[in-house]
């Protein structure tokens, strides 16, 4: 997964990223296209999403500092998005390399860029709720009680579905802030009408409706693990992505849910390799060394359909840092994905990295971290 919302990466780098994935048999490119800090995909029916929602900095409507803090200069405007023509080009480029592209539109939380673009469609004007996300972004959540929210999502999903031939769209679902909708008259009316007893049940209602919209456009859903809380009425084909721990993935598997393993302690490549002020990357979780990634055993089950690494971009100020945090950990990811645990051997893997993989990547212009 490459996050292009927090820091934007152009078409040339995305293709380079895809080339290196293909080289090591990584066959799904999860493209995190929207978040609080930027909406990066052109939606023709809603042009303000990129006119307003793809621009942040001084005199704009988007936040610039979140926790963990966005790095880099904050005294200038930053902007960037992909046109639909560029999207089609990248999708075709990936398919030519046996890679399917999974787009992500992160909702209902992590949606500040959409909210500042279309507040009249996505917020209850009488809602006096005041809250912050875990990243300290204020009031960043779509209102699930408004019919205009579902009309908006129907229009967005229709265009996204037409751009991406892969059968799934990732719809987020993570980290809905406490306090969201707490003082929304529209949500209170919705709860009374449908006999919903809690905020969790409101979120379940939201995702059941959104899943229906996906089905209308011939797509199935991938979502982060939080969507499973409260047993929402989702289709059996929908997929859960477990990020908080391997145990979260095992719980989903026990419920016979198709599950992708992406645990933070092994597969979050935005984290530092080792705790050091000289290392780029985040420190909010534990360090993730290449050896730690290589040690991950996802287990085996008919419902366990893959492993997945996340490269969030709050600290990715340039392509050099992005490369450094991805490689060589992505080499370890490939062997976790494709090799039996009995076949894995760290000493042999380390030798092959040093003799073959890292020299090749260096010649290809990839800025890799040396192997300890």
The residues near 355 (Cβ < 8 Å, ≥ 6 apart) are: none
Q: Which of 19, 154, 175, 335 is catalytic?
A: 175
Catalytic residue among 30, 32, 35, 308: 35
Active site residue 238: no
- Rounded Cα distance, 259 and 277, in Å: 35
SS3 44: coil
Residue 352 has which token pair?
């092959």
Annotated active-site residue 37? The verdict is no
Taking CA 221 as the corner, what is the angle to CA 220 and CA 225, rounded to the nearest 5 degrees? 155
335 is catalytic: no
Q: What is the pLDDT along the chain (372 residues), one digit of tens a residue?
A: 999 999 999 999 999 999 999 999 999 999 999 999 999 999 999 999 999 999 998 888 886 665 544 666 667 888 999 999 999 999 999 999 999 999 999 999 999 999 999 999 999 999 999 999 988 899 999 999 999 999 999 999 999 999 999 999 999 999 999 999 999 999 999 999 999 999 999 999 999 999 999 999 999 999 999 999 888 899 999 999 999 999 999 999 999 999 999 999 999 999 999 999 999 999 999 999 999 999 999 999 999 999 999 999 999 999 999 999 999 999 999 999 999 999 999 999 999 999 999 999 999 999 999 987
Strands 28-32 and 304-307: unpaired
Distances (CA, A) of 205 to 56, 209, 227, 229: 32, 6, 11, 12
**Residue partners of 115: CB distance under 8 A and separation at least 6:** 122, 123, 139, 140, 141, 142
d(CA 346, CA 352): 10
Half-sphere exposure of 91 (CA within 13 A, CB side): 17
Domains of the chain from N-terminus onward: 2-363 (3.20.20.80)
What's the CA gap between 1 and 283, in Å, rounded? 19
- Kindly name the residue from 110, 170, 282, 308 that is annotated as catalytic: 110
């Amino acid at each position: 997964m490459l996050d292009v919302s927090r820091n934007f990466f152009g078409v040339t780098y995305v293709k380079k990223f895809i080339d290196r994935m293909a080289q090591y048999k990584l066959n799904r490119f999860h493209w995190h296209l929207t978040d609080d800090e930027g909406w990066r995909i052109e939606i023709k029916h809603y042009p303000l999403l990129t006119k307003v929602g793809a621009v942040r900095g001084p005199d704009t409507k988007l936040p610039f500092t979140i926790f963990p803090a966005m790095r880099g200069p904050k005294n200038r405007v930053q902007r960037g998005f992909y046109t639909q023509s560029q999207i089609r080009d990248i999708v075709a480029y990936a398919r030519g390399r046996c890679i399917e592209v999974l787009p992500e539109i992160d909702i209902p939380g992590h949606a500040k860029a959409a909210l500042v673009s279309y507040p009249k469609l996505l917020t209850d004007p009488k809602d006096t709720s005041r809250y912050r996300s875990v990243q300290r972004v204020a009031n960043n959540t779509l209102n699930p009680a408004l019919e205009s929210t579902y009309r908006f999502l129907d229009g967005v999903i229709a265009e996204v579905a037409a751009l991406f031939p892969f059968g799934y769209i990732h719809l987020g679902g993570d980290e809905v802030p406490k306090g969201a909708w707490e003082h929304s008259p529209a949500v209170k009316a919705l709860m009374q009408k449908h006999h919903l007893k809690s905020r969790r049940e409101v979120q379940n209602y939201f995702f059941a409706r959104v899943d229906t919209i996906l089905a209308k456009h011939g797509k199935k859903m991938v979502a982060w693990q939080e969507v499973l809380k409260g047993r929402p009425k989702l289709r059996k084909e929908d997929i859960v992505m477990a990020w908080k721990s391997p145990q979260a993935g095992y719980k989903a598997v026990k419920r016979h849910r198709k599950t992708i393993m992406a645990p933070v302690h092994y597969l979050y490549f935005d984290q530092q390799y080792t705790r050091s002020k000289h290392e780029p990357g985040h420190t909010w979780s534990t360090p993730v060394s290449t050896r730690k990634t290589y040690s991950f055993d996802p287990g085996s089950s008919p419902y366990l359909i893959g492993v997945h690494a996340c490269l969030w971009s709050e600290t990715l100020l340039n392509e050099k840092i992005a490369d450094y945090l991805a490689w060589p950990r992505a080499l370890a990811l490939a062997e976790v994905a494709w090799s039996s645990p009995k076949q894995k051997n760290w000493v042999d893997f380390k030798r092959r990295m040093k003799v073959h993989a890292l020299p090749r990547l260096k010649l290809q212009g990839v800025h890799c971290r040396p192997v300890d």
